[in-house]
Amino acid sequence: MFSSTRSTASLRAVVYVALDASVKFTVLKVRNECGRSRRLSVTGYVEWVLGDLRAKSAMHVITEVDPGSGALFARNPYHTEFGGRVAFFNVDDATRTVSGDRTEFIGRNGTLRSPVAMTRSQLSGKVGAALDPCAAIQVPFEIADGQEREFIFTLAQGETPRRPATWRIASGDLLRHGARSKRCGSIGSTLSGRAGGNTGPSLDVLTNGWLLYQTLACRLWARSGTYQPGGAFGSAISCRT
């Protein structure tokens, strides 16, 4: 969970994944505390890789907008192993503008610390092939003093049929999944192993919590330990004489 409080607003973001689907949820809550109504916007942003290295795969990534849900789809048909899969980014609000062009969003020679898109009233809707690929969704909204608004961004991937333009995974199924996703339990029940000894509270949290979770999530499930997304699974041994 991430939280931030300013004199005019408080924000809280909770990030988690489903246990029974390839879906990541980011739940953002915005509360107006400025003493008057305000017009604001929230923006979700993803940089697509869809391969092992972005520099190699970016030129092959194709983005499109699903006409039914407004979600952003991305696929890399040239990937030898996952060319038949598609990634998906959406938000549970119909009032949005989108962009699949990273250069447009950040700006020429810009950075994510201060993207040029944040100075504009809406995103262009530009998607397609031969772009610097990303997925950006911006939702404008009005919020009264003391009111709280919630937005759920979903990031997912799955199989696609021969004609990706007809693929409809998400809009219905994943948004319904988002509505019930909070039933997914804590990871604590899975991390049942305990290291003994008088380690102290700080080291205990590390050895019996975060390190176990990191090993399980990054090395065993994602197979991306130390940024190794090729899927290799094993160990390396070096010897010195």
What sign has the CA pseudo-torsion 229, 232, 235, 237? negative
Task: Please state which CATH class domain 2-183 belongs to.
Answer: mainly beta
User: Which residues have a Cβ under 8 Å from the Cβ of 39 and sit 6 or more positions away?
Assistant: 140, 141, 142
pLDDT of residue 72: 95
Mean pLDDT by 10 residues, the chain (241 residues): 86 86 90 92 94 90 91 92 89 94 92 91 94 96 95 88 42 45 55 64 79 78 63 48 39
| pTM across the whole model | 0.75
- C-alpha 12/C-alpha 1 separation (Å) is 7
pLDDT of residue 188: 65
What the block records as the tokens of 78 is 């040239």
Domain with CATH 2.70.98.40 in the chain: 2-183
One-letter identity of residue 228? Q
What is the β-pairing status of strands 133-143 and 9-17? unpaired
